[in-house]
Homo-oligomer: A and B are copies of this chain.
Amino acid sequence: MEKQTITIYDVAREANVSMATVSRVVNGNPNVKPSTRKKVLEVIDRLDYRPNAVARGLASKKTTTVGVLIPDVTNVFFASLARGIDDIATMYKYNIILANSDQNENKEIQVLNTLLAKQVDGIIYMGNKITDELRAEFARSKTPVVLAGTVDPDQEVGSVNIDYIDATEKVIAKLIESDRKNIGFISSQIANPINGQYRLKGYKNALLSAGITYDESFVFESDGSVDAGESMAAQLLEKGIDSAYVTDDELAIGLLNGIINAGVNVPEDFEIISSNNSKITEMARPKLSSIMLPLYDIGAVAMRLLTKIMNKEEIDEKTITLPYKIVYRGTTTLEEE
């Protein structure tokens, strides 16, 4: 007594039409006489027929599913992007196969291959750095790829981001305006071009404009975790650092807590600005000031871009830069903007 499937053939027989006709009504093809459409629909309903998407995928070479590579769903930052992706995907009748990669190259390649084997119509990639091997796979597969919150310095594939240089430059300038002289650049993986190239560049630009000498020892790298941030506090304080720009929210919260534990007042004696404005920034006390990355939108726009590419529509620009804002909350002294 196996899962007894009823097929398009059964419907055709019961409705006294051909499979082709059933296929047409199922797919909303207008070339069907209303009366026969009605008849078919009736049978479909009666038989409780549900089209087999796998068979359809094989025949049409479209699966209406896209693969999504995510470093870790557990990270609010990526989860927010994923939410934007899924919502738009659903809107356009796609489903997403979500796969955690842990930023691990081998896993990424492997996952990518199984995704391609499953004939996904497109891929959204989130991660640190798009390695050459990965890029090669992308190119070879001919499957559309869009990066979300991930940068491709060569701009070969589509991507959605904000202007990280500009945003970082702005917040650093703000810190300088508040008379901070020793501003730390607290980063997760520097290997990620967003951190090591763009944000760092913004940081340097701001210092330059203010005539402050760049001190490499003010740049800190870590794994981006809360713990890393917390244990880093002592070091910063020791170095005489009086404010920090942090590339990740969790890291920022850790740092914030570490600084407070050391008995230093935030924001009076130490200011912090974070980068993603994920919802945890509002859970911290004081609430974290942060660049307001439009996380959901980045995901949503990336998916929208992907649908266009999959649909072979005309694309004006495949490297999309979204606007951002900055919210000054409790970890900075400036309140306006």
Contact, CB under 8 Å: B226 / A53: no
Interface: A32 (CB within 8 A): no
Interface: A106 (CB within 8 A): no
CB distance from A37 to the nearest CB of B (A): 20
**Proximity bits, A245-281, B CB within 8 Å = 1, else 0:** 0000010011001001000000000000000000110
Contact, CB under 8 Å: B73 / A83: yes
Q: How many copies of this kind of chain does the complex include? A: 2
Contact, CB under 8 Å: A74 / B63: no
Contact, CB under 8 Å: B119 / A99: no
Query: Interface stretch among A90-98, A148-156, A158-166?
Result: A90-98
Whole-angstrom CA separation of A182 from B142 in the bound complex: 64
Residues of B within 8 Å of A142, CB to CB, are 3
**Proximity bits, A85-125, B CB within 8 Å = 1, else 0:** 01100100001111110000000000101111111000000
Interface: A55 (CB within 8 A): yes
Contact, CB under 8 Å: B83 / A72: yes
Interface: A65 (CB within 8 A): yes
Interface: A325 (CB within 8 A): no
Contact, CB under 8 Å: B95 / A97: yes
Residues of B within 8 Å of A111, CB to CB, are 90
Whole-angstrom CA separation of A249 from B9 in the bound complex: 52
Contact, CB under 8 Å: A74 / B65: no
CB distance from A263 to the nearest CB of B (A): 14
Contact, CB under 8 Å: B58 / A86: no
CB distance from A100 to the nearest CB of B (A): 5
Whole-angstrom CA separation of A250 from B278 in the bound complex: 13
Contact, CB under 8 Å: A90 / B80: no
Interface: A323 (CB within 8 A): no
CB distance from A27 to the nearest CB of B (A): 13
Contact, CB under 8 Å: A250 / B283: yes
Whole-angstrom CA separation of A159 from B142 in the bound complex: 41
Whole-angstrom CA separation of A72 from B226 in the bound complex: 23
Residues of B within 8 Å of A3, CB to CB, are 141-143
Interface: A79 (CB within 8 A): yes
Interface: A47 (CB within 8 A): no
Given known A58-B54, A74-B83, contact A65–B98 (CB-CB < 8 A): no
Across chains A and B, which 8 residue pairs bring their CB atoms closest together, nearest first?
Answer: A98-B98, A3-B142, A53-B118, A53-B117, A54-B57, A73-B79, A253-B283, A54-B119
